[in-house]
Amino acid sequence: MDDRIIECSRYEHSIGTYYLALKAIEASERNTEWIKSNQVGGKIPALYRDAVLLAALLHDIGHAAFSHSWEDVDPNYDHEMTSWKLIDKIFTENCEIFSHLRDNSNYGIDLIKALITGHRKHFSHFLPDQYRFIFEFVSNKYCQIDVDKWDYLKRDGRVFGEESLTDFEDVFLNARVTEDGNHIEYLCSDRYKIMQLFTTRWRFYRDYYCQTHNITSNAIFKKIIRRNFTLSELEKCYQADTFLNFIDEKILSAVKNDSLTRFLNKSVAYKEIPSKKFKAICECLSNSYADSETFHIQPVSKYFPKNKVCLYPDRGNFDTISDETIFIKKTINFVCSESDNVIYFNIKDETKYFQEDLCLDA
């Protein structure tokens, strides 16, 4: 496949996450006996249902220009906190919508914001124990299985031609809520698909997200923004009243008018140069921009707490499922040649040495 990724828009991802959150909620209602028997209409109360769905729809509303690339520009930027500010602005300016979410000192609105971060500690109101599971639909900080991943992995798998790797719909459609309401639990026979979800995520980072074109584009974008704005200037524009105009009027204008922007174009040629020749190439090129970016990809075992996953019936675990993913570390050195519209690059793969160090420490 070509070294460039056709990106899905943040809008499409938000709609998709909302839709999958609805499917996951309906599956949980359908599969959970105490919800079918004890809840009105066999459904989760509208207050919690709507909060989850709106959190799914709005979970990425605070992303700055060019989505996750902005996190390279300003490592301290928190898109979830910006989402909070924008959600407050939406509900303040549209007093007629979702009145039931405003009762009890904006209980439902505050719940939406907490669900986006996935942390119950961010919700200052009382939440009955039997509804604690709602924090595991959108941004699951407990065991990492959530509809946000479901959507973007399915969506990207289709773009990459890797749909066979994203067959984990049953993980969510067979899920139910635990008897105490604290967690979502998953069918034991689906644990292989659960592992596949995280392995697929790792593979997409290795094969697509961290390709040379994406790493260098992020570095170039960071350079463009950093030489047009100071970090203090950026921070002043993160307020809800200035955020959207700042992106539309200033950021996009800066990117459009910068001389480096042409290296973000898909028509730019990439040429890999042996490490011994790379320094000489850099010295020969005039009016060039050179940089170096190091990226890491963690193995699944580092961020997937498999022992926390609740399985039903009460049997089976992940011990028989091996994690074949490894830690990957690479450094990409590159230089943009303004004379011939080429990006020359060299990749230093330090993965092998890292693995050897692990063996020595063991």
pLDDT by residue (tens digit) across 301-343? 999 999 999 999 976 788 889 899 999 999 999 999 877 889 9
Ordered strands of the 310-312 beta sheet: 176-177, 184-187, 310-312
pLDDT of residue 2: 39
Nearest partner of 86 among 56, 114, 63, judged by Cα: 63
CA distances (Å), origin 352, targets 203, 205, 359, 362? 18, 18, 11, 16
Predicted pLDDT at 353: 56
Full domain range(s) for residue 344: 10-349
Assigned domain for 108 exists = yes
In a domain, 69, yes or no: yes
Extract the tokens encoding 324.
């074949």
> What pTM did the predictor assign?
0.91
Average pLDDT over residues 22-50: 98
What is residue 192's predicted lDDT score, i.e. its pLDDT? 95
Strands 342-349 and 328-337 turn out to be: antiparallel
Q: Rounded to an integer, what is the distance from CA 82 to the centroid of its chain?
A: 15
β 176-177/289-297 pair status: unpaired
Q: Is the pLDDT of residue 269 over 80?
A: yes
pLDDT digits (tens, 9 = 90+) for 58-108: 999 998 888 888 988 998 898 888 999 999 999 999 999 999 999 999 999
Query: Is the pLDDT confidence value at 362 over 50?
Result: no
Number of domains within the chain: 1
What tokens appear for 226 in the block? 């950093």
Does 39 have pLDDT greater than 70?
yes
CA distances from 230 to 76, 223, 236, 240, 265 (A): 13, 11, 10, 19, 25
> Which long-range contacts link 19-23 to residues 24+ away (Cβ below 8 Å)?
20/56, 20/147, 20/150, 20/151, 20/172, 21/52, 21/53, 21/55, 21/56, 21/137, 21/138, 21/147, 22/53, 23/172, 23/173
What sign results for the dihedral spanned by CA atoms 53, 56, 62, 66? negative
Is pLDDT larger for residue 32 or for residue 237? 32
Residue 332 within any structural domain of the chain: yes
From residue 10, alpha-carbon distances to 152, 170, 288 in Å are 10, 25, 33
With a pLDDT cut of 90, the percent of the chain lying above it is 72
Residue 272: the pLDDT is 96
Q: Tell me which residue of 90, 14, 57 sits closest to 244, measured CA to CA.
A: 90
Phi, psi (5° rounding) for residue 347?
-110, 125
Looking at the domain assignment, is residue 3 inside a domain?
no
Supply the pLDDT for residue 242: 85
CATH number, domain at 233? 1.10.3210.10
As a whole number, the mean pLDDT across the chain is: 91
Taking phi over 0 as left and psi of -120 to 50 as alpha, with beta for the rest, 106 belongs to left
Q: How far apart are CA 124 and CA 111, in angstroms?
A: 9
Does residue 318 sit within a domain? yes
Q: Is the pLDDT of residue 354 over 70?
A: no
Say if 356 falls within a structural domain: no
Is the pLDDT reported for residue 248 higher than 80? no
Q: What φ, ψ does residue 343 adopt, rounded to 5°?
A: -105, 115
Q: What's the rounded Cα separation, in Å, for the pair 173 and 119?
A: 24
More confident residue, 136 or 341: 136
Whether 271 and 120 have beta carbons less than 8 Å apart is answered as no
Per residue in 172-188, pLDDT (tens digit) is 999 999 999 999 999 99
SS3 156: helix
